[in-house]
Structure 1
Amino acid sequence: MTMQTRRHPIAGNWATLLLPIAADDSIGFDKLGEEIDILIAARVDGIYSNGTAGEFHNQTEAEYDRIQEMLSSRCRAADMPFVIGACQPDPHLMLGRLRRAVPLKPMAIQVILPDWWPLTYPEAVDFLQRASDVADGIPLILYNPPHAKRVLTPAELADVCGPCPSVVGIKLADGDDQWYADARANLEEFSLFVPGHHLARGTKSGIAAGAFSNVACISPRGAQNWTDLMRTDIDTALEIESRICAFMDDHIVPFRRAQGYSNAALDKLLAAIGGWGPVGTRLRWPYRFVDAEHAVSLRAVAQAMLPELMNP
């Protein structure tokens, strides 16, 4: 299959839906609706649900259905593109989520490779072919993050995704110059979504279609402005990226390296630093979350280092 028939127009700055979690571990659906409205008003390129930061691994099937219905109905009313994450470590539950997402008609549906026991490559192809059948013509995006049980190289991704025509995009971590060369050689027919804080580099390379973005966690509107800037002034966008990476490395990543907080905890911390919506830092039990007081102290740091994001 050629690049012209495979590559999908999905691109740009995609904001993740973060679950407002109450002290009793319930989902604050009123706050979730408010959050969706804020993201729509920010005019991001799109909104997606049930990534890692959306805690797809820690919700019931009834909650999953309610989240997707809320997202899809509000986005359709506002003409906002949306992607649904059908991710679930159990392959049968994931196919069930995928099947129930199809009637909501998202722009695409995101899946992971079943994750309790790593799949062999033939098993991965088998799974994606079955998922393609269930998707009934809706494009699929494979989510293969650094914390997956099996992280695939660009060549391996091409081998696994190539036989599955519904897989049009891949969300993945990028790497060094050799990784970009390998991606260019193997994955040009796919829309690639790199980490949000590397989007300018990925855009300049010609490899990245966009990001399901942690930068949008800090500021949806600021991240959108930065993404738009890449089309007209990539050098300035790269300079901003260098400061985003410095902020992440110096002030956010240490929460993971030194204290073991998850990526979902870090994304919620970023949203609390940005202060743009009613998300909060709380994760669902048993996962630990960063105390909100850290967001207050880091907000001034972010405003000084990243005024383009914090004051869009």
Structure 2
Amino acid sequence: MRPLTAESLRGVWATLLLPLNADDTIDFTRLEAQAATLATTELDGLYAHGTAGEFQTLTEDEFDRVNEVLAGAGKPFQIGASHPSAQVQLARVQRAAALEPDAIQVILPDWLPLNDREALDFVRRVADTAGDVPLVLYNPPHAKTPVGPQLLQQLAPSLIGLKTAGGDKAWFDEATKSGLSIFVPGHFLASMSLLGAHGSYSNVAALSPNGAIRFAHDLDVERRIGEFFGQHVVPLQKAGLSNPALDKFLAAVGDWADVGTRVRWPMTSATTAQVEAARPVARRLLPELFEDSW
């Protein structure tokens, strides 16, 4: 392990997505094949157990088995130890650290909001538990405890990075004072890099792993990704599909691995018809992403 730092945490990273059987069990054969495919790409690294990885649905045995697949892929890797329970999350951090990942991603406990003192106490204790493995804080828009720039600066000594939706220039001007590496959604990386973002845990990598890194800073490609999202992702989002369902939809449109669109109960999955309608549009709008999608 060569632990990442705030200065070295950069680039485009892709998540493992859970291939599910009809009974919602994980198909680990397909997961291993997916990881092997991603290992051959130009991506800076892989991670597991973000929102798209359906981390909140996993048993502890499943969590550990996915980590074994991730650690064995041969790419730099980060483990998401997130869980709504602080106690479960702390145990996950301890087990994740034993695998010597490049970093561990965590969330603030997510049933009740925390005050600033509680947030600081949580992050410090998790950092102590992780030992030499650095931490990245995941603070999405739906988090119960939003972390603004001032709190971020207080948390910064225990972290190397922040996974966030980002913001405008004023937001980045304040957030970058923390000294942390700031990671934003893949479909905004080109424009937000101009504001101060350092990389992405990328939803675009679900569509095209190599395309996501080769065109990460291309503003015209970003504009056309936005056009595709407007036509085929936003309507699914408005219909109530979750982020895991949307990322699996993108992977099915990209057709670079046998992930499938099924998400775990009770979440709703995208349909085959929706994928087939979107696939030719993606290739017409974004041909360069599919020249060598893996």
SS, match of residue 79 in structure 2: strand
Q: Tell me what 1:262 maps to.
A: 242
2:168 partner letter: D
1:226 and 2:179 correspond: no
* CA distance in 1: counterparts of 2:5 and 2:247, whole angstroms: 31
Matches within 5 A, 1:177-216: 177-184=169-176, 186-187=177-178, 189-205=179-195, 207-216=196-205
* CA distance in 2: counterparts of 1:292 and 1:88, whole angstroms: 31
The Cα of 1:309 is off from its aligned counterpart by 1.2
The Cα of 1:290 is off from its aligned counterpart by 1.0
Post-superposition Cα deviations, 1:212-264, rounded to whole Å, max 9, x if no partner, equal 0000010101112113xx3xxxxxx111111112211232012112x111111
* CA distance in 1: counterparts of 2:183 and 2:118, whole angstroms: 24
Q: Tell me what 1:133 maps to.
A: 128
Q: Tell me what 1:175 maps to.
A: 167
1:37 partner letter: A
The Cα of 1:6 is off from its aligned counterpart by 6.3
SS, match of residue 300 in structure 1: helix
1:305 partner letter: L
- What TM-score do the two structures reach when normalised by structure 1? 0.89
Q: Tell me what 2:38 maps to.
A: 39
Task: Give the unaligned 5+ runs of structure 2.
Answer: none
Post-superposition Cα deviations, 1:176-216, rounded to whole Å, max 9, x if no partner, equal 232233324x33x10000111111112222x1110000000
1:153 and 2:123 correspond: no
Post-superposition Cα deviations, 1:260-294, rounded to whole Å, max 9, x if no partner, equal 11111111101111010010110011111111221
The Cα of 1:26 is off from its aligned counterpart by 0.4
Q: Tell me what 2:280 maps to.
A: 300
* CA distance in 2: counterparts of 1:288 and 1:6, whole angstroms: 38
The answer to whether the Cα contact below 8 Å between 1:138 and 1:166 also exists between their aligned partners in 2 is: no
The Cα of 1:175 is off from its aligned counterpart by 1.8
- Structure whose residues are more often helix by fraction: 1
Q: Tell me what 1:253 maps to.
A: 234
SS, match of residue 74 in structure 1: coil
* CA distance in 2: counterparts of 1:310 and 1:172, whole angstroms: 27
Q: Percent identity?
A: 46
SS, match of residue 160 in structure 2: strand
1:256 partner letter: Q
SS, match of residue 208 in structure 1: coil
- What TM-score do the two structures reach when normalised by structure 2? 0.95
Q: Tell me what 2:58 maps to.
A: 59
2:164 partner letter: L
Task: Give the unaligned 5+ runs of structure 1.
Answer: 231-236
The answer to whether the Cα contact below 8 Å between 1:18 and 1:53 also exists between their aligned partners in 2 is: yes
Number of residues of Structure 1 aligned to a counterpart in Structure 2: 289
SS, match of residue 90 in structure 2: helix
Q: Tell me what 1:234 maps to.
A: none
Matches within 5 A, 1:80-91: 80-91=75-86
